[in-house]
Amino acid sequence: MQKIGILTDTTSDLSLEVQDTENIKIIPLQVIFNDGRTFRDKYDISYRECMASLDEYDTKTSLPVIAEAVRAFDEFVEEGYTHVIVMTISHNLSGTYNMVKNVSEEYKDKLVIENIITRSVAYGIGHVAIESARMAAAGESFDSIVSYAGRSFENQQINFAVETLKYLQKGGRIGRLSGTIGEALDIKPIINMTEEGKLVPVDKVRGRKKSILKIEEITKSLAEKHGMDKIYIAHGDRLEDAQKLKERISDITEKEVDIVDLGTLVSVHAGPGVLGTICIWK
């Protein structure tokens, strides 16, 4: 009989508590301060603590340490799992996928492991991880869950409105001159998760209100094109904005539009105040 586990990382934006109720294990990316301190995302430092220190300590993120992946696979073996589906942050955003895949090779005589290339981040991964775990608990086969996960990662789009250009500029995603001029003109970029799994600016508008309207426009356009299975509104400590956006788009899907907290990784690189939608279709 198959006992199937799901392995993901903290960029999935899942609460660590799901590990107590679902067959999911979550390994932490690292949050690094320029004073030499390193923290395990979510385990040692919260989103709010990270954002409060973003400028003072020139905060960066890095892939998990190898020991975290080893610990997770060891626990799967000890707990009697026979199969593991791995879904980590896009391989074009982090070295996490390659690291975990390399570690998984050491367990191929103990576990059947599928390392999925997600090309996703945030609750684009979190949604698929939760649904896959529930399918496993309901007795679905390993192959059917892998097939479901692959389709779900292909059939999704993530778009974010950024509140400031400062952090995109600092990370080299836009030039210094463009960033300076953009800030002066109140330019707000729209960031899209591309089919290659990269977060790139794809549009820009002037002002926060227009940037949120742009996210609404993109989301409604996707709903007209595909028909939505699930929509999440992800925000970085901007609940009021998220609630207003929910009111404006709730009528485009039969399912409840859920609001979820955006985690550390996107916020470190795009800044606090990010707001966007994660659209998933069948």
Query: Which string of DSSP letters, residue by residue, matches 230-264?
Result: EEEEEESS-HHHHHHHHHHHGGG-SSPPEEEE--H
pLDDT value, residue 180: 37
Name the amino acid, one letter, at 254. Answer: E
With a CB cutoff of 8 Å and minimum separation 6, the contacts of 154 are none
- Regarding whether 144 and 9 lie in a shared domain, the answer is yes
Q: What is the CATH number of the domain that holds 169?
A: 3.30.1180.10
Low pLDDT (below 70) residues in the chain: 169-185
What are 56's two structure tokens?
């003072």
Q: Final residue of a domain: which of 103, 130, 154?
A: 154
pLDDT value, residue 169: 65
- Regarding whether 20 and 140 lie in a shared domain, the answer is yes
- Regarding whether 276 and 207 lie in a shared domain, the answer is yes
Q: What is the CATH number of the domain that holds 120?
A: 3.40.50.10440
How many domains are there within the chain?
A: 2
Tell me the per-residue pLDDT of 56-73, one tens digit each, with 9 for 90 and over. 998 999 999 999 999 999
Residue 199 inside a domain? The answer is yes
Strand partners, 280: 156, 230
- Regarding whether 162 and 145 lie in a shared domain, the answer is no
- Regarding whether 77 and 170 lie in a shared domain, the answer is no
What are 143's two structure tokens?
């192959």
- Regarding whether 124 and 17 lie in a shared domain, the answer is yes
Q: How far apart are CA 58 and CA 171, in angstroms?
A: 11
pLDDT value, residue 163: 86
Residue 56 inside a domain? The answer is no
pLDDT value, residue 170: 66
Q: Final residue of a domain: which of 94, 129, 154?
A: 154
Residue 48 inside a domain? The answer is no
Tell me the per-residue pLDDT of 181-218, one tens digit each, with 9 for 90 and over. 344 347 788 989 999 998 888 888 999 999 999 999 99
pLDDT value, residue 173: 45
Residue 38 inside a domain? The answer is no
With a CB cutoff of 8 Å and minimum separation 6, the contacts of 55 are none
